[in-house]
Structure 1
Amino acid sequence: MSLNRIIQTAMVWSIASFYGSVMLVTMTLSAIRRGPRAFFGYKSRPDRPKCLDDPDLGTHGYVRLKTSGLRFHYVAAGEPQKPLMLCLHGFPECWYSWRHQLKEFRNSYRVVAPDLRGYGETESPQPSGYHGWPNFSMAHLTNDVRELIEALGYSSCTLVAHDWGGAVAWDFTINNPDLVDKLIVMNIPHPAMFQKYLSTHFSQFRKSWYMFFFQLPWLPEILCRSFDFELITDAFQGKEMGCRRSGAITDEDLEALKYTFTRPGTSITGGINYYRAAFKTFPPRSYKGTKVQCPTLLIWGDQDGALEVGLTEGTDRFVPDFTLKLVPGASHWVQQDQPQVVNGHMREWLKE
């Protein structure tokens, strides 16, 4: 192990341990105040929420990928002969995050929204749990996208992505320019911009505390499951991170998201392992000098509680054919918070 890697690892673990100590105290006080049973308990959800099987959103399907052998679940809308629009979700979400886009673009595209590896009805690689993080490296995630396009019967796609799906989409497009005709990314910066901005803006570093906290074993899972996945409720309906538009995320929508992490054979660990693999895979990939060759649209809700708008600045240095659309008053969950505005930007840009 190189000296640089030792230093980086020590720094990450020091910061992770600090936030772990803070969260351990916070969680202990919450358990005392609200009761251990409430803290450690979450509802059994044997019944599948009806919204997940809404026929207006499309049909459910499965494909098994060659390299990993994992069976991927997806929902598809639109005729198979139409061009492919592949939609990649973020954390803590699933294919259902693209419900508005599945309905909006089905007449022009074959819109496919998969559950990414470790999410929902898509299988999680073994070994599971904390020690399974190597199976969630960027190389594995981008290979999934490559094989998904092939398994769906296409040679390229319009790639649409948000949050962690967006991180995968940026990397995939940079390294597979022949497989992406157009790229639409939402509330996730180009990786080169994120690396630089995080190291020069303490305000963003502070907002990214959870990325370091997620490096720890077990404790992040306990926090996420506490109070019946209250973290998901706060993320989508809370004051800091939640959707700004009233009714954007209904109680049924929340149940659908929580169901994906509580159904038999699933857990929150898969999603958390994305963060673990990103930090533990040293050295980080260098994006200096790399370009995105295809036309790219970046849509950004300017009220994002986790990622600052400043992360968008300078993206055109890496993306020659670049368009930025800010959505005023929209949260991090921009395609669910303001679906009409987002779909309008997408439609107009795709026509161009």
Structure 2
Amino acid sequence: MSLARIIRSAMTWGIASFYGSVMLVTMTLGAIRRGPRAFFGYKVRQDRPKCLDDPELGTHGYVRLKSSGLRFHYVAAGERGKPLMLCLHGFPECWYSWRHQLKEFRNSYRVVAPDLRGYGETESPQPFGYWGWPNFSVSHLTNDVRELIEALGYSSCTLVAHDWGGVVAWQFAIDHPDLVDKLIVMNIPHPGIFAKYMSTHFSQFRRSWYMFLFQLPWLPEILVKSFDFEMISDCFKGKGMGCRRRDAITDEDLEAFKYTFARPEANMSGAINYYRAAFKAPPPRSYKGTKVTCPTLMIWGDQDAALEVGLTEGTDKFVPDFTLKMVPGASHWVQQDQPEVVIGIMRDWLK
């Protein structure tokens, strides 16, 4: 390990420990105020919310990938043979975050929304828990997309992605330009921009505190589960991070996302290990000078509490055929917060 990596690792652990200490105090005070039973009283959800089986959203399917052996779950809408639109979700989500797009684009595309590895009904590689983070490197995740396209019977796709799905989509478009006809990313910057921007903008560094917290073992899993997955409620409906449109996420929608992580078979560490691998595993290669050659649309909710609008600047240096569309008043969860606006932007651009 180089000296630079040793220093970077020490700094990461120092910052992570600081935020971990803060959260330990916060969690302890919450447990005292509301009671330990409430703190540890998260529900294991046996029954699926009905919205997950809404036939208007499509049909459920499964494929087993060759190299990993993992069984992937997906929901597909639209006839086989139509062009493939593959939709990749973020954290803490699942395929259901694309419910509006599944219904809207089924007449023009075969729209497929999978659960990414470690999420929902898609299997998580062993070993489980903190020590499984090496299985969630970007190279593993992009290979999943490559094999998934092949398993679905296609040679290329229109790739649509948000948040962590966008991280994977950017790298996939860089590494496999022949497999991506068009790329649509939502509220996630190009990988060549994020690290530099965070190092020069303390406000973004401060917003990214949870990425450092997630480097710690065990504590993040306990935090997410506490008070019956209250963190997920805060993400989608809280005053800071949540959707700006009050009816964007219904109680049933929220229960669907909680069910993703509270099923008897669920492995909370899988989703958090994406962040751990991003810090610990070296990137596939240098991002400097890399290009995304396919036409690319970036959609950005300008009220994102986690990622600043400034992260969109300079993307055209990496993407010659680039279009940026802002969605005023939309949160980080832009495709759920303002689905009609996002669908309109997508449809116009795809034409």
User: Equivalents in 1 of 2:340, 2:115: separation in Å?
Assistant: 23
> Aligned residue for 1:197?
197
1:11 aligned partner: 11
SS at match of 2:85: strand
Note the C-alpha offset of 1:195.
1.4
CA deviation string 1:89-112 (max 9, x = no partner): 000000000000000000000000
**Could you say which residue in structure 2 is the equivalent of 1:136?**
136
Amino acid at match of 2:323: T
Q: Take 1:214 and 1:329, find their aligned partners in 2: how far apart are those partners?
A: 28
**Structure 1 position 285, deviation (Å):** 4.0
Unaligned runs of 5+ in 2: none
Counterpart Cα distance in 1 of 2:26 and 2:179:
46
User: Which 10-residue stretch deviates more, 274-283 or 231-240?
Assistant: 274-283
Question: What residue is the counterpart of 1:44 in the other structure?
Answer: 44
Deviations 1:150-180 (A, max 9, x none): 0000000000000000000000000100000
1:12-31 maps to which residues of 2 (within 5 A)? 12-31=12-31
Q: CA deviation at 1:269?
A: 1.0
Equivalent residues of 1:117, 1:123 under 8 A apart? yes
- Contact 1:5–1:283 at 8 Å: present in 2 too? no
Aligned-residue offset at 1:210:
0.2
The percent of aligned pairs where both chains have the same amino acid is 84
State the partner residue of 1:98: 98
Conserved? CA contact 1:5–1:282, under 8 Å? no
2:135 alignment partner, SS class: helix
Amino acid at match of 1:35: G
Tell me the amino acid that sits aligned with residue 158 of structure 2.
Answer: T
SS of the residue 1:161 aligns to:
strand
Deviation at 1:282, TM superposition (A): 3.1
Q: Which residue of 2 aligns with 1:175?
A: 175
Q: Deviations over 1:70-103 (max 9, x none)?
A: 0000000000110000000000000000000000
CA contact (8 A) 2:138 2:284 kept: no
Q: What's 1:309 paired with? A: 309
Residue number in structure 1 paired with 2:68: 68
Q: Distance in 1 between matches of 2:350 and 2:141?
A: 26
Q: Corresponding residue for 2:253?
A: 253
Question: Does the C-alpha gap of structure 1 residues 27 and 165 become closer, same or farther in structure 2, counting only changes over 3 Å?
Answer: same
Q: Do the aligned partners of residues 193 and 169 (structure 1) sit closer, same or farther apart at CA in structure 2, a change above 3 Å counting?
A: same
Q: Tell me by how many angstroms 1:281 deviates.
A: 1.0
1:243 Cα deviation after fit: 0.3
2:88–2:166 Cα contact (<8 Å) kept: yes
Would you say how many aligned residue pairs link Structure 1 and Structure 2? 351
Q: How does 1:285-296 map to 2 (within 5 A)?
A: 285-296=285-296
C-alpha offsets along residues 258-289 of structure 1, whole Å, 9 cap, x if unaligned?
Answer: 01111121122111000000000136742111
Q: What is the letter of the counterpart of residue 263 of structure 1? A: R
Corresponding residue number in structure 1 for 2:118: 118
How does the TM-score come out when normalised to structure 1? Answer: 0.99
CA distance in 2, matches of 1:115, 1:283: 23
Alpha-carbon separation, structure 2, partners of 1:257 and 1:141: 21
TM-score normalized with structure 2 length: 0.99
State the AA in 2 paired with 1:309: V
Q: What letter is aligned with 1:342? A: V
SS of the equivalent of 2:127 reads coil
CA distance in 2, matches of 1:267, 1:58: 25
* Mapped partners of 1:61, 1:17: distance in 2: 41
Q: CA deviation at 1:5?
A: 1.1
What residue number does 2:239 align with? 239
Provide structure 1 residue ranges, at least 5 long, that are not aligned to the other structure. none
Checking the alignment, whether the CA contact within 8 Å between 1:305 and 1:331 is kept in structure 2 is yes
Contact 2:59 2:76 in 1 (8 A): yes
